[in-house]
Amino acid sequence: MTVLLVLLTFVGFLLIDWFFSRNKQVVFAEQRAAERAESVRIPRLQPVLVGGFKVPENVRYHPGHTWALSESPNLVRVGIDDFASKLIGKVEEVKLPQRGQWVRQGQKIWSFKRNGKLVEMVSPIEGSVADVNDAVARDPELARKDPYGEGWMVTVQSPDAKTNFRNLMGGALARWWTEEAASRLQKKIPSSMGSLALAQDGGAAVEDIAAHLTDDVWTATTHEFFLA
């Protein structure tokens, strides 16, 4: 009888231990799912308007008009800035890098095609492409309409992100740089457009500057500003 009681007690402890272990696994799984959802959450960035273009304060900019946002010590989300989205205008196609592809800071990373003309852009960060925005590949208009949100381009696993970010611009420097780029671009806009092109009255720039440029001028201008 004593042996039976001991066995029943032992089985009872095993059942209790299994129950609590299972609950811990469920909680852990829910936490991991929440963490994954948070990691893919698209950041909503608050921009200021500079020279007619949105310049969020919490991203860093490459001189080729791409931006980088740190999501963890080594994971970086990147995309095109508002200046690029308006200069590129409506395009037929975007070509993104392959997942796992290694890219260097300042190296060509994606391209857009408009009226048969190709324009390439450079990466603001170095590392391995962790993910690409398939929604943008299907609908390039996302990058133009919401470049800092749904229109992000790729995420990059960057082992030396901290050093890379030192080579990018932010704050007052980014605002000055955008203002200077807007001034240079205005000189390329047909005089008939006046302030409509870059909103010199303090408003936002027009959505599709490319529509007001010839294909050759557009190609040359994008090469100049995008450093590609």
User: The domain that contains 218 carries what CATH number?
Assistant: 2.40.50.100
pLDDT at 122 over 90: yes
Domain assignment present for 197: yes
Domain assignment present for 4: no
Q: Which residue has the tokens 């590609």?
A: 228
Better-predicted residue by pLDDT, 159 or 9: 159
pLDDT tens-place string over residues 50-64: 989 999 999 999 999
Tally of residues, the chain: 228
Which residue type occupies 132? V
What whole-number distance in Å separates Cα of residue 123 and Cα of residue 109?
5
Q: Among 7-11, 79-83, 108-112, name the one with the lowest average pLDDT.
A: 7-11
pLDDT tens-place string over residues 71-99: 999 999 999 999 999 999 999 999 999 99
Better-predicted residue by pLDDT, 86 or 47: 86
For residue 169, give the DSSP letter: B
What whole-number distance in Å separates Cα of residue 45 and Cα of residue 146?
11
Mean pLDDT of 197-213: 73
Domain assignment present for 9: no
What is the per-residue pLDDT for 194?
54
Average pLDDT of the chain is 83
The count of domains in the chain is 1
What is the per-residue pLDDT for 112?
96
Closest alpha carbon to 58 in 178, 182, 177, 169: 169
What is the per-residue pLDDT for 38?
46
What is the per-residue pLDDT for 22?
55
Domain assignment present for 219: yes
What whole-number distance in Å separates Cα of residue 72 and Cα of residue 93?
30
Domain assignment present for 94: yes
pLDDT at 198 over 80: no
Which residue type occupies 225? F
For residue 67, give the DSSP letter: E
Mean pLDDT of 3-23: 50
- The phi, psi pair for 75, rounded to 5°, reads -105, 125
Structural domain harbouring 75: 47-228
What is the per-residue pLDDT for 32?
53
Domain assignment present for 122: yes
Domain assignment present for 23: no
Domain assignment present for 83: yes
Portion of the chain with pLDDT greater than 70, in percent? 75
What is the per-residue pLDDT for 66?
98
